[in-house]
Amino acid sequence: MLSLNLHKIKTPHERFEQTYAPEQLGVSEGLTVAAPAALAFDIFKDNDQFRVVGDVKTTLELSCSRCLEPFELPIDQHFDLRYQPHARNSGEGEREIEEDDLTTAFYENDEIDLGQLMREQFYLALPMKPLCRDDCKGLCAVCGTNLNRGACLCSTRWEDPRFAALKSWKRKS
């Protein structure tokens, strides 16, 4: 676990900068980190509450949603998070945490889990529909040729209308 020991934060404002190798990040399924991750933030201390404002930069490897080829996506994700001790949340039933407040996080044992922080930012940076390039031509619905690499013969052939309907149905699904 990549943790930040909060006992080391002694002044109201400190700067933190660290670069991590992809294998240190403990990334879970569906996400490949293809370059070292540079984490840099300012941390502001207010008694037992901490505000963490900064950026994480790296390169993710994704699969194109059209042609299915892997491609690299550089990301530079900005975050502004408030950390409070975990006990406060579970101990006071009266206190309401607004569910849509995504910027409030909790820490335990006087440590902030920086691995978790970075993984969450990577997921937030993921595009809904990853594309290797904006004009990716995708795969031929008939023969599966990657049309970015070259044309296949399917499109030059006479197209049976029933087949065209099937193709557009396939494309939608």
117 binds Zn ion (CB under 5 A): no
Cα separation values, 84 from 48, 98, 117, Å: 7, 14, 14
Q: Any contact of residue 136 with Zn ion (CB under 5 A)?
A: yes
Strands 49-63 and 32-33: antiparallel
CA dihedral 107, 4, 73, 130 (to 10 degrees): -10
Contact call for residue 147 and Zn ion (CB under 5 A): no
Q: Work out whether 35 is an interface residue with Zn ion (CB under 5 A).
A: no
Give the amino acid at 18: Q
Query: Which one of 87, 102, 124, 143 is in contact with Zn ion (CB under 5 A)?
Result: 143
Q: Is 139 in the site for Zn ion (CB under 5 A)?
A: no
CB of 73 to Zn ion, least distance (A): 12
Q: What is the Cα–Cα distance from 41 to 14, expressed in whole angstroms?
A: 9
Q: Which stretch binds Zn ion (CB under 5 A): 4-12, 34-42, 117-125, 129-137?
A: 129-137
Side-chain half-sphere exposure of 67, counting CA atoms within 13 A: 17
x/- site string to Zn ion, residues 61 to 90, per CB under 5 A? ---x-xx-----------------------
Which of these ranges, 3-11, 56-64, 91-99, 110-118, lies near Zn ion under the rule CB under 5 A?
A: 56-64
- By rule CB under 5 A, what count of residues binds Zn ion? 11
114 is a contact residue toward Zn ion (CB under 5 A) = no
Residues that bind Zn ion (CB under 5 A): 64, 66-67, 132, 136, 140, 142-143, 145, 152, 154
